Amino acid sequence: MRVAVVVGAEGGRLLQALAEDGTPQGSPEPVRDLAPAVAEQERAERPRWVWAATAELYPGLLRSGVRVDRCHDLSLTEGILLAADGRWGEPRSFPAAWARLEGRPVPDDTARAARAGQPALFDHDLLGLPEGAELLAGVVAVHGAQQRRLTGGPGAGGSGDRPAGLGLLVAAESAGALAAVEMAAAGLPWRPEAHDAVLTELLGPRPRAGTAPRRLTELAARIGEAFGGQRLNPDSPAQVLKAFAAAGTPLPSTRSHVLRGVDHPAVPLLLAYKEPSRLHAAYGWTWLDAWVAGGRFRPEYVPGGVVSGRWATRGGGALQIPHALRRAVVADPGWTFVVADASQLEPRVLAALSGDDGLARAAAGGDLYAALAADAFAGDRARAKTALLAAMYGGDVGQLMTVLRRRFPAAVGYVEAAARAGEEGGLVRSRLGRTCPAPSSGWLAATERAGGADPDAEAGGRARRAARDRGRFTRNFVVQASAADWALVLLAAVRRRLGDPGRPDRPTGPHLVFFQHDEVVVHCPRADADRVAVVLGEAAEESGRLVFGDTSVRFPLAVAVVDCYADAK
């Protein structure tokens, strides 16, 4: 059972029962208070809720204490379907999907109704329609069209060649959107005093507003002295390069690997300056004041925010928390974290994608790289890892790739076929059907000009570089995006198995608090830790089965029960 939900301009709320194909069942049901109505149907029917955007409607339900089990997010689904048709980059919001369906001008995803006194038919937060019935009709129509596009039914439109796993991808993406809102509501436990202690240890006492920390000030002075007493800003690459050039050592950049190759007294000081400077700029006291409140860090997650399907965040840098600051992520008294990350996920994904028996055997044990080394690289784990990463990400490793290609032809052939498709301007897909962006018009123009009867050498060189760059992208996309498929299905499976944790802001039972690429973190009462660890293992097995079907490849999770996130690895 499915139920469409809308909230109109004047606060009108409507529910509409739908069949699985999106056909309306009965008449729309006006409700005075949305949260109790949703809660009642959730208890009675456990429907899949159909709405324009989870990030806009679900937070209000959660604040009212209503948690739902399943949904269909029209905006996220539209993005997946557009990409599958090679139309990556077109507006994917519900207003845009509705406009496309009715042949109206399609608004940009960030557009707002600008004409005073006019109904905001394309307002992204859906609060501008004068009548809820009209809005409901749009939601029902877009959902029905998406269901036809997913199943290839009458009037489906699009390419007509739908990947078999696209329905699972849409369901997992929508489940991920629910989890994202719930994690933001619950927050990641964060000790401000521990954060301050880390900053003080690395940077010195908190400085006055607008001034640099003592440690950075001292290093900047010593760097200036190393360049003969001149004053410069170590955070300015232009100033640093100018100082090196004046010292008779011109450099192409101030990157760490470049600096390490230079014999100059300023080099160790600059290297010592870089990390604390980045920490202060990205996660210093200003970040702490802005992002942590009530002992919780509440980032705004963006499911599918990266082209591969990985998540992003709007501010806060939640997906790049420095290891030093993980000391501030401490479980509540009587609670603990169960942290699980997938071991060597992308090589295992390649083994499952390609059906390479040799690589699958290597993936059957604990350390895939060690098994690979024993099988093909005379026990040299470093060489085995270098070769396999080059196969997935692109790179010239000479004889190592020759060995890999000879011993694991199906695996190497899989990524090389993806690379060739990219170089030729084609599209590649993840296991469940997430589709890479089409080449840009600039890329097409450059490669077409170079392919003419008499291309000049410079244009030919640019075209070859562009083709190789796109080939490296598509080579990795098929692996990384398929790994993102697996991780997203894992997240959905964990969320479903954990069930309702209670209050949204301060849950009383085990609940997800963090998700990063191939890692999930559950905050739970200490007595529940063993059960949560079992849940995570079962979810990993389910994810592998749903995404990759009948494969001998296993996707083990490294599980740690810790009171401080920094202790997990």
Asked if the structure places residue 182 within a domain, the reply is no
Place of tokens 């489940």: 175
* 443 and 392 assigned to the same domain: yes
DSSP code of 528?
A: G
Does residue 112 sit in the same domain as residue 39?
A: yes
Q: Has residue 230 been placed in a domain?
A: yes
Structure confidence at residue 117 (pLDDT) = 34
Residue 180: inside a domain: no
Q: Which residues of 81-96 are buried (b: 16+ CB within 10 A; e: fewer)?
A: bbbbbebbeebbbbbb
Q: For residue 515, what is the domain's CATH number?
A: 3.30.70.370
Q: How many domains does the chain have?
A: 4
pLDDT in tens, 459-501: 788 888 899 999 999 999 999 999 999 999 999 999 999 999 9
360: tokens are 């699958």
Question: Is residue 144 one of the residues assigned to a domain?
Answer: yes
Rounded to a whole number of angstroms, the CA Rg of the chain reads 26
- Are 472 and 560 part of one and the same domain? no
Give pLDDT, residue 129.
41
CA torsion sign for 410, 166, 474, 322 is negative
Together in a domain, 560 and 541: yes
| 554 located within any domain | yes
8 plus 71 within the same structural domain: yes
Q: What is the CATH number of the domain that holds 235?
A: 1.20.1060.10
The pLDDT tens digits of the residues spanning 156-192 come to 555 556 788 999 999 999 999 999 999 999 999 999 9
- DSSP letter at 435? B
Rounded distance, CA 371 to CA 393, Å? 20
In a domain, 179, yes or no: no
Residue bearing tokens 């007294």: 265
Looking at the fold, whether 429 and 550 belong to one and the same domain comes out as no
Predicted confidence at residue 113, as pLDDT, reads 36
First to last CA, the chain: 43
Q: For residue 22, report the phi and psi dihedrals to the nearest 5 degrees.
A: 95, 0
Domain that holds residue 495: 301-319+332-345+486-568
The pLDDT of residue 438 is 93
Q: Which two tokens stand for residue 38?
A: 């949703």
Domain termination residue (choose one: 445, 477, 509) = 477
Q: Are residues 417 and 526 in the same domain?
A: no
71: Cβ–Cβ under 8 A, 6 or more apart, which residues? 48, 49, 50, 51, 54, 58, 174, 175, 177, 178
The structure tokens 């997946």 sit at: 80
The pLDDT value recorded for residue 114 is 35
Higher pLDDT, 112 or 553: 553
How crowded is residue 296: how many other Cβ atoms within 10 Å of its Cβ? 17
Assess if residue 358 is contained within a domain.
yes
- 3-class state of residue 561 by DSSP: strand
Query: Is the confidence at residue 278, as pLDDT, over 90?
Result: yes
pLDDT at residue 109, rounded to an integer: 82
What gap in Å lies between CA 436 and CA 438, rounded to an integer?
6
Alpha carbon 39 to chain centroid, angstroms: 30
What pLDDT, on the 0 to 100 scale, is given for residue 321?
Answer: 93
pLDDT tens digits, one per residue of 40-61: 999 999 999 999 999 999 999 9
Token digits of residue 475:
């080579």
| 97 plus 207 within the same structural domain | no
What's the one-letter identity of residue 341? D
Let me know whether 8 and 47 are in one domain: yes
